[in-house]
């Protein structure tokens, strides 16, 4: 069996493990059920990836996050390690082939969503696999008291029946004590090895500043700290507006949100990662798989929905161990805004039922049908069709997603379908009169053979390459062809895909999860309250507040947060005031040297020197030729 450090060096090019990693890896290799709580940036993935590479066989990784699965699979493949992710939108034959590859194709990692474990085909193939480890990522999702509870996570237990001799490692970056107890119980751990790293970050200063003009404070901070930064905001428009504002103030910035296409996301991301742009302004869609070590400042211009999400986002600062800042800039309107955004838009059970029924109707799904069908989804069109409040409807869809009724994946794309509706001779007569579009039309005809017989999805990018025309030009030509009744055209934009996980049963479907919806709404109210308590509390060290929330005890003040710095300043001012008075009283009687003053007043040498300096600067005392101090007359 190869030593883990050799695998770390070969694939990750590191010569030593981070704290706790080696002990965790050894426990997993030895076949122990293992629970791992490491803060964001602690290197959780290596804790299951290296043991899986040490042993023969395949590691099954359960994760709720499609983007994170794809990112990890891509990273493993780039290292020459065979890995795959089975996500939504796969037909039966394609799924069958991929699972066969896992049984016979020497794959080392299979990433699955918890919903996939319900499928009989998936279960049958897992029984045939040589599984060396089961890894449960984002393990807090298994707990009803976790910040992202997903009932489908309770399906993970079936893996213990399918592969009873294989050990399980559960990993999370945020879990309170009651959530940890839930994880151990739900995964049927017996005498587990538990590794909990303190969330304390000695280099990270947590700051909360009150500022009515947030843009002014933002500019001040970024000009003082000119290293790489992330700014988190509430919506897509704000990412663009703030990026534009910063650019106008000579601070290089770019932006990131879920509505950008993949090329735009990648270009903006690389500009920031390569430090061509100082600032990334982003929604909370930004962050998965981001491990940029030199982020100096993470700034929240809007309040996060929970301590859990704030701690993860703030934790992206200072991963290189150097001094870094996690800052919230708040003002008087924030409390009302956070309640409006996260509490007033919690969907009731009745609303979820209504949204689900209309969603099924929107895609013409019959009662008892629809399981594992995937559809392109234009959210705005859906809301307009049924006169739904967009925010409430979106939150209802998220609830359906978390409760495994549907899978909602965000991916912006343009879909273009074309069918020629005139005869071939008529088309060529038309082209003789419109020679300027000849190449574009003929390129389309050569690429899509059945385009006269049925509506055909076309790729504007490929047509652009073929015809050497821009996509914008091709779109203009298509619109003109439709206007001239040469083609039927559908130019649609979609910002998501919806996959139905179970057959349509209307109210019966939602009744099964009604108690969970109510419980999660109550949990959300508690999380928002905790976030508001955090920003209001200026008496207790910010680091202590955060660590106490996650159940840590016997904590000491960090000394570098906004509360600690304020306390130091107040104490310093109090010391200076009383010491100043004592010095002036002593000098009333006679001139004294600094040694004589310190002996008579009994203060520290440092405090005395600082106070004497202030008195000299304010022309209250003088230094004599004998190096004594006297009150200035």
Neighbours of 216 (CB within 10 A): 11
Q: Are residues 478 and 502 in the same domain?
A: no
What are the CA-CA distances from residue 256 to residues 36, 100, 282, 372, 617 (Å)? Answer: 31, 38, 5, 30, 50
Instruction: Quote the pLDDT of residue 314.
Output: 93
Kindly compute the dihedral angle of the four CA atoms of residues 117, 120, 124, 127, in this order, to the nearest 10 degrees.
Answer: 30
The b-or-e profile of 291-306 (16+ CB within 10 A means b, else e) is ebeebbbbbbbbbbbb
Residue 529 lies in a domain: no
Q: How far is Cα 407 from Cα 405, in angstroms, rounded to an integer? A: 7
Q: Are residues 221 and 287 in the same domain?
A: yes
Residue 364 lies in a domain: yes
Neighbours of 538 (CB within 10 A): 12
CATH number of the structural domain spanning residue 209: 3.40.50.300
Q: Are residues 68 and 93 in the same domain?
A: yes
Q: Are residues 17 and 87 in the same domain?
A: yes
Q: How many CA atoms lie within 13 A of 33 on its CB side?
A: 13
Which residues, in sequence order, are CB contacts of 7 under 8 Å at separation 6+? 50, 53, 54
CATH number of the structural domain spanning residue 359: 1.10.10.10
Residue 383 lies in a domain: yes
Neighbours of 341 (CB within 10 A): 16
Using a CB cutoff of 8 Å and minimum separation of 24, what contacts does 352-357 make?
A: 352/396, 352/399, 352/400, 352/510, 352/517, 353/506, 353/507, 353/510, 355/388, 355/393, 355/396, 355/397, 355/400, 356/396, 356/400, 356/405, 356/506, 356/509, 356/510, 357/506
How far from chain centre, in Å, is Cα 248? 28
86 close to 116: Cβ distance less than 8 angstroms: yes
Q: From 1, 53, 43, select the one nearest 22 (Cα to Cα).
A: 43
Q: Which domain holds residue 467?
A: 422-485
H, E, C per residue of 522-582: HHHHHHHHHHHHHHHCCCCCHHHHHHHHCCCCCCCCCCCCHHHHHHHHHHHHHHHHHHHHH
Instruction: Quote the pLDDT of residue 412.
Output: 54
Task: Assign residue 606 a region (left: φ > 0; alpha: ψ between -120 and 50; beta: otherwise).
Answer: alpha
350 close to 399: Cβ distance less than 8 angstroms: no
Domain count, the chain: 5
Q: Are residues 66 and 179 in the same domain?
A: yes
Instruction: Quote the pLDDT of residue 27.
Output: 96
Alpha helix (H) residue ranges in 55-176: 66-78, 92-104, 120-128, 157-162
Q: How far is Cα 236 from Cα 230, in angstroms, rounded to an integer? A: 15
The DSSP output letter for 437 is G
Residue 532 lies in a domain: no
How do strand 324-330 and strand 374-377 relate by DSSP bridges? unpaired
Q: Are residues 502 and 626 in the same domain?
A: no
Boundary residue ending a domain (135, 167, 196): 196
Q: Are residues 58 and 125 in the same domain?
A: yes
Q: Are residues 433 and 355 in the same domain?
A: no
How do strand 34-37 and strand 193-196 relate by DSSP bridges? parallel
Instruction: Quote the pLDDT of residue 144.
Output: 79
Instruction: Quote the pLDDT of residue 16.
Output: 92
Coil, strand, or helix at residue 408?
Answer: strand
Q: How far is Cα 257 from Cα 255, in angstroms, rounded to an integer? A: 7
Q: How far is Cα 82 from Cα 125, in angstroms, rounded to an integer? A: 18
Q: Are residues 83 and 60 in the same domain?
A: yes
Q: How far is Cα 290 from Cα 316, in angstroms, rounded to an integer? A: 8
230 close to 286: Cβ distance less than 8 angstroms: yes
Q: Look up tokens 């909602």; give the residue.
A: 408
The b-or-e profile of 251-268 (16+ CB within 10 A means b, else e) is bbbbbbbbbbeeeebeeb
Q: Are residues 439 and 401 in the same domain?
A: no
Burial degree of 391 (CB within 10 A; 0-12, 13-18, 19+): middle
Residue 554 lies in a domain: no
Q: How far is Cα 485 from Cα 480, in angstroms, rounded to an integer? A: 9
What are the CA-CA distances from residue 453 to residues 117, 419, 423, 449, 488 (Å)? Answer: 40, 7, 11, 9, 12
Would you say the C-alpha torsion 148, 150, 155, 159 has a positive or negative sign?
negative
How far from chain centre, in Å, is Cα 623? 60
Residue 168 lies in a domain: yes
24 close to 47: Cβ distance less than 8 angstroms: yes
Residues in the chain: 633
Residue 454 lies in a domain: yes
What are the CA-CA distances from residue 577 to residues 160, 567, 605, 611, 612 (Å)? Answer: 68, 15, 16, 9, 12
pTM of the model: 0.71
Q: Are residues 113 and 60 in the same domain?
A: yes
CA-based radius of gyration for the chain = 31
Q: Which helix (H) or strand (E) holds 375?
A: strand 374-377
207 close to 326: Cβ distance less than 8 angstroms: yes
Q: How far is Cα 140 from Cα 550, in angstroms, rounded to an integer? A: 13
Kindly compute the dihedral angle of the four CA atoms of residues 389, 393, 394, 395, in this order, to the nearest 10 degrees.
Answer: 110
Q: How far is Cα 175 from Cα 139, in angstroms, rounded to an integer? A: 9
Tokens at 143, concatenated: 């707990």
Pick out the chain residues at pLDDT < 70. Answer: 88-89, 288-289, 410-414, 493-495, 572-575
Bridge partners for 515 per DSSP: none
Which residues, in sequence order, are CB contacts of 75 under 8 Å at separation 6+? 289
Q: From 500, 456, 458, 451, select the one nearest 475 (Cα to Cα).
A: 458
Residue 140 lies in a domain: yes
Q: Are residues 543 and 567 in the same domain?
A: no
Q: How far is Cα 102 from Cα 83, in angstroms, rounded to an integer? A: 9
Instruction: Quote the pLDDT of residue 88.
Output: 64
Q: How far is Cα 160 from Cα 182, in angstroms, rounded to an integer? A: 17
229 close to 253: Cβ distance less than 8 angstroms: no
Instruction: Quote the pLDDT of residue 67.
Output: 75
567 close to 585: Cβ distance less than 8 angstroms: no
Tokens at 77, concatenated: 């493949």
Instruction: Quote the pLDDT of residue 341.
Output: 82
261 close to 471: Cβ distance less than 8 angstroms: no
């Amino acid at each position: 069996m190869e030593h883990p450090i050799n695998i770390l060096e070969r694939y990750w090019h590191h010569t030593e493990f981070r704290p706790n990693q080696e002990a965790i890896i050894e426990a997993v290799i030895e076949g122990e059920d293992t629970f791992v709580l490491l803060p964001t940036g602690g290197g959780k993935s290596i804790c299951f990836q290296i043991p899986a590479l040490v042993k023969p066989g395949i590691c099954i990784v359960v994760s709720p996050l499609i983007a994170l699965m794809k990112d990890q699979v891509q990273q493993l493949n780039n290292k020459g390690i065979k890995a795959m992710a089975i996500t939504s939108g796969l037909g039966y034959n394609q799924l069958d082939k991929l699972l066969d590859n896992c049984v016979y194709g020497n794959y080392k990692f299979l990433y699955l969503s918890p919903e996939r474990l319900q499928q009989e085909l998936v279960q049958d193939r897992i029984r045939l696999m040589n599984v060396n480890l089961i890894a449960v990522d984002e393990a807090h999702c298994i707990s009803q008291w976790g910040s992202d509870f997903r009932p489908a996570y309770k399906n993970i237990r079936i893996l213990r029946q399918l592969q009873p001799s294989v050990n399980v490692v559960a990993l999370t970056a945020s879990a309170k004590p009651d959530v940890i107890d839930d994880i151990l119980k739900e995964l049927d751990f017996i005498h587990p090895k538990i590794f909990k790293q303190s969330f304390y970050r000695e280099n990270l200063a947590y700051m909360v500043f009150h500022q009515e003009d947030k843009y002014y404070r933002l500019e001040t901070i970024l000009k003082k700290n000119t290293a790489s930064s992330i700014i988190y905001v509430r919506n897509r428009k704000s990412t663009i507006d703030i990026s534009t504002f910063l650019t106008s103030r000579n601070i290089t910035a770019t932006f990131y949100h879920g509505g950008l296409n993949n090329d735009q996301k990648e270009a903006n991301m690389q500009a920031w990662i390569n430090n061509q742009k100082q600032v990334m302004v982003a929604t909370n869609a930004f962050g998965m798989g981001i491990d940029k070590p030199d982020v100096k400042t993470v700034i929240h211009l809007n309040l996060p929905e929970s301590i859990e999400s704030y701690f993860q986002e703030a934790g992206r600062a200072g991963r290189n161990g150097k001094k870094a800042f996690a800052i919230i800039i708040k003002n008087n309107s924030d409390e009302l805004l956070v309640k409006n955004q996260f509490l007033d838009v919690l969907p009731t059970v009745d609303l979820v039922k209504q949204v689900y029924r209309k969603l099924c109707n929107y895609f013409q799904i019959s009662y008892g049908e629809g399981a594992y069908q995937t559809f392109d989804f234009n959210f705005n069109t859906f809301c307009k069709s049924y006169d739904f409040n967009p925010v409430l409807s979106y939150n209802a869809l998220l609830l359906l997603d978390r409760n495994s009724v549907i899978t909602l994946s965000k991916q912006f794309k343009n879909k273009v379908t074309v069918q020629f509706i005139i005869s071939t001779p008529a088309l060529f007569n038309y082209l003789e009169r419109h020679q300027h579009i000849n190449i574009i039309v003929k390129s389309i005809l050569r690429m899509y053979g059945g385009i006269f017989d049925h509506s055909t999805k076309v790729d504007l990018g490929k047509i652009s390459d073929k015809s050497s025309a821009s996509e914008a030009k091709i779109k203009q030509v298509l619109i003109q062809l439709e206007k001239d009744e040469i083609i039927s055209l559908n130019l649609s934009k979609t910002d998501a895909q919806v996959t139905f996980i179970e057959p349509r049963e209307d109210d019966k479907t939602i009744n099964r999860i009604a108690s969970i919806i109510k419980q999660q709404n109550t949990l959300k109210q508690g999380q928002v309250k905790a976030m508001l308590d955090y920003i209001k509390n200026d008496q207790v060290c910010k680091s202590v507040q955060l660590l106490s929330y996650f159940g840590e005890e016997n904590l000491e003040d960090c000394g570098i947060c906004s509360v600690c710095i304020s306390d130091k300043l107040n104490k310093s001012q109090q010391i200076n005031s009383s010491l100043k008075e004592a010095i002036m009283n002593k000098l009333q009687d006679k001139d004294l040297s600094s040694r004589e003053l310190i002996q008579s007043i009994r203060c520290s040498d440092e405090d005395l020197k600082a106070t004497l300096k202030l008195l000299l600067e304010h022309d209250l005392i003088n230094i004599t030729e004998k190096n004594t101090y006297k009150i200035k007359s």
